[in-house]
Homo-oligomer: A and B are copies of this chain.
Amino acid sequence: MSFAETFKALSDPVRREILQLLKNGKLSAGEIGSHFDMTGATISYHLSVLKKAGLVWETKVKNYVYYELNTTVLEEVLMWIKELKGGEDHERI
């Protein structure tokens, strides 16, 4: 995981929307796909980019793959931006 990969992953609107869907808990690839007018292959691609960027976790339960938000990397990006904006606010949220 690198900031380059994280920011590149976040630059795509579909991937940002997938992250928003995962805000309320884990979802299978099929459940995620049902929100988009896209092929399963395209959704899989976006999920793999998010996974490589450390923005989602993947868990396998029998034949299903579930995805959930990894807030650790989001926290790191948050800290980087806050530090850039000015030193007055450094507490962890």
| A interface residue numbers (CB < 8 A to B) | 3-8, 10-13, 16, 19-20, 23, 69, 71, 74-75, 77-78, 81-82, 84-86, 89, 93
**A82–B78 contact, CB under 8 A?**
yes
A-B contact pairs, 9 of them (CB 8 A): A3-B13, A4-B12, A6-B11, A7-B7, A8-B8, A78-B78, A78-B81, A78-B85, A89-B93
Query: Given the complex, which residues of B lie within 8 Å of A13, measured CB to CB?
Result: 3-4
Tell which of B7, B69, B85, B86 touches A11, judged by Cβ atoms closer than 8 Å: B7
Query: Given the complex, which residues of B lie within 8 Å of A5, measured CB to CB?
Result: 11
| Min CB gap A22→B, angstroms | 9
